[in-house]
């Protein structure tokens, strides 16, 4: 029997992260779940340890960031971040810093939420940053790196963005259109992405694995 492991999650207050945290706490795979964030979450669970951090000074908490599987659900928007520079700080710098610190403590797996269309050479800033993040993560010496590339995420956010809300309504009403070759663009529930992340970790495989939107929809 495999000994219970320790999971670390960053971004547990977000859309995917909140679902992921619940699944980690329910999973017998883990006897401890470390949540790293900027504020305390209103969750009580004997398996949960919350560490409040300044992601700009993550190194300060290095010795507390020790886990087997690392789930990175960090992400923002340019509008919410306030500038392209701040967006890049969250979606690239914070992610890479977390990966480097945890792999230095011999974390085995790094599972990160990216995006459909991520491409380090894209002319679209958002896609380019996500692609650059992926490129920087891949060479790190984890046993396995899992990159998840969802399309439009469905679910209730703390603050629903008007454009996303309209897109989500369209996706639900006309979701039947996104079949066959278009299935890779189909909107996906955030909970489904979280399920895919946990299932990928359970495989205890090796190498760099890209999980497409179409593949993740299997867990819907």
Kindly list the catalytic residues. 126, 130
Question: Beta-carbon neighbour count of residue 74 at 10 Å?
Answer: 24
Angstrom distances, CA of residue 139 to CA of 94, 110, 132, 145: 17, 12, 12, 9
d(CA 89, CA 81): 9
- Tell which residue, 18, 136, 140, 145, has the closest CA to residue 73: 18
How far apart, in whole angstroms, are the C-alpha atoms of residue 82 and residue 66?
32
Query: 197: helix, coil or strand?
Result: helix
Distance CA 29, CA 101 (A): 23
């Amino acid at each position: 029997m495999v000994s219970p492991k320790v999971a670390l999650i960053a971004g547990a207050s977000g859309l995917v992260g909140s679902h992921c945290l619940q699944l980690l706490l329910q999973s017998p795979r883990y006897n401890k779940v470390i949540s790293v964030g900027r504020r305390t979450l209103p969750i009580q669970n004997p398996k949960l340890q919350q560490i409040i951090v300044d992601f700009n000074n993550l190194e300060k908490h290095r010795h507390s960031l020790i886990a087997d599987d690392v789930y990175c659900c960090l992400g923002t928007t340019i509008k919410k971040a306030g500038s392209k520079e701040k967006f890049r700080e969250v979606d690239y710098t914070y992610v890479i810093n977390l990966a480097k610190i945890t792999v230095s403590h011999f974390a085995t797996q790094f599972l990160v939420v990216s995006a459909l269309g991520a491409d380090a050479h894209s002319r679209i800033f958002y896609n380019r940053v996500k692609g650059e993040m992926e490129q920087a993560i891949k060479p790190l010496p984890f046993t396995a790196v899992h990159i998840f590339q969802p399309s439009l995420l469905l679910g209730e956010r703390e603050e629903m963005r008007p454009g996303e809300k309209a897109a989500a309504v369209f996706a639900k009403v006309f979701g039947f259109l996104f079949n066959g070759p278009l299935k890779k663009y189909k909107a996906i529930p955030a909970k489904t992405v979280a399920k895919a992340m946990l299932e990928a970790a359970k495989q205890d495989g090796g190498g760099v694995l890209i999980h497409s939107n179409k593949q993740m929809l299997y867990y819907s």
